[in-house]
Amino acid sequence: MTWHVLGAGSLGSLWATRLFRAGLPVRLILRNPEQLASYRASGGLSLVENGHSQLYPIAAETADSAAPVQRLLLACKAYDAEEAAASLAPRLAPGAEIILLQNGLGSQDAVAARLPRVRCILASSTEGAFRDGPWRVVFAGQGHNWLGVPGQEQAPAWLGELQQAGIPHAWSAAILAKLWRKLALNCAINPLTVLHQCRNGDLRDWPQDVQALSSELAELLRGCGQTEAADDLHKEVLRVIDATAANYSSMYQDVAQGRRTEITYLLGHACRQARQHGLATPQLDALHERLLACLAARGLPLV
């Protein structure tokens, strides 16, 4: 069965090239005819691994192509997910599956509400990739991909194709806990790196802030029923700060490059959930306000 991959950005290209080179049928779905023409002129997608670049001539189309879509990897940013998925609604076959690769939380529910007859599979990725040119992606960090449908233990048979393509993965019925845990790490680290204009490791200079945020986030996770995701959160935040000490967080990089952030689906989601559960989260709320002010000062979107 064909893998349709919507979004030939960093992660979409990383998945598409690995599936393609394993001999699996892949089609890219690009934004518009101009993008499609530019892509075709380039001859395909290039994947750079260990300094070596390889071109893969993957077929591509736009959303208004006619062929039905049975399996879709939605590889756009969280703020584009609902509209991007909806643009394919007329093509989604009965029983179609969409793998949602978005970071944070909130966009997955929006897609599911918009496309109620589709099976949404949630994913959380810790792999790293970035684009260093048009239709070119650099594989920047080994990681893992968790996929799952909350409460469903049975993995789909096509997971074997990810194995075949060398995409590190595991199925988890507790996928929401994985997404919440990553969201909490992103909330404890990323906004502070933007506000202090620093690398992840420099947050060791603000131990009280990191501790207070971790503690509020753990309370929030427990309040949302994600007790497993709350376990030893502060320890894990400190471990990630150490392990990624030399890196700039993804949000820092978005802001530095004048790109829209996924704030609504990270810190924004955390603050909204706290309100919905009647939890007081003064540190998170203050951080959210400061981050919004920082984005506004730079003329970046606040959602």
Query: Where on the chain is the footprint of ligand NAD (CB under 6 A)?
Result: 6-12, 29-31, 75-78, 80, 84, 87, 101-103, 125, 127-129, 131, 262
Measured CA distances, 120 to 97, 132, 133 (Å): 6, 31, 31
**Which residues is 74 bridged to in the sheet?**
6, 100
Nearer to ligand KPL, 46 or 226 (CB): 226
Residue 290, classified by CB atoms within 10 Å of its CB into exposed (0-12), middle (13-18) or buried (19+), is middle
The partner in contact with residue 80, picked from ligand KPL, ligand NAD, none with C-beta cut-offs of 5 to 8 angstroms by kind, is ligand NAD
Residue 9 near which of ligand NAD, ligand KPL, none (CB within 5-8 Å, type-dependent): ligand NAD
Query: Of 92 and 220, which CB lies nearer to ligand KPL in the complex structure?
Result: 220
CA dihedral sign, ordered 194, 195, 197, 203:
negative
CB of 279 to ligand NAD, least distance (A): 25
In the structure, how many helices (H) and strands (E) does the chain have? 12, 12
> Which entry of ligand KPL, ligand NAD, none binds 11, CB below 5 to 8 A by partner kind?
ligand NAD
Q: How far is the CB of 274 from ligand NAD (least distance, A)?
A: 22
Q: CA nearest 134: which of 51, 220, 30?
A: 30
- Is 182 labeled as catalytic in the residue annotation? yes
Computed over its alpha carbons, how large is the radius of gyration of the chain? 19
Question: For residues 78 and 212, which CB has a smaller minimum distance to ligand NAD in the complex?
Answer: 78
CB 267, min distance to ligand KPL, A: 11
Q: For ligand NAD, which residue has the nearest CB?
A: 9
Q: Give CA angle at 76 (41, 166), nearest 5°.
A: 80
Polymer length in residues for the chain: 303
φ/ψ of 2, rounded to 5, equals: -70, 135
- Shortest reach from residue 155's CB to ligand NAD, in Å: 21
Q: Closer to ligand NAD at the Cβ: 75 or 224?
A: 75
> Which residues bind to ligand KPL, rule: CB under 6 A?
185-186, 189-190, 200, 240, 244, 247, 249-250
Active site residues: 182
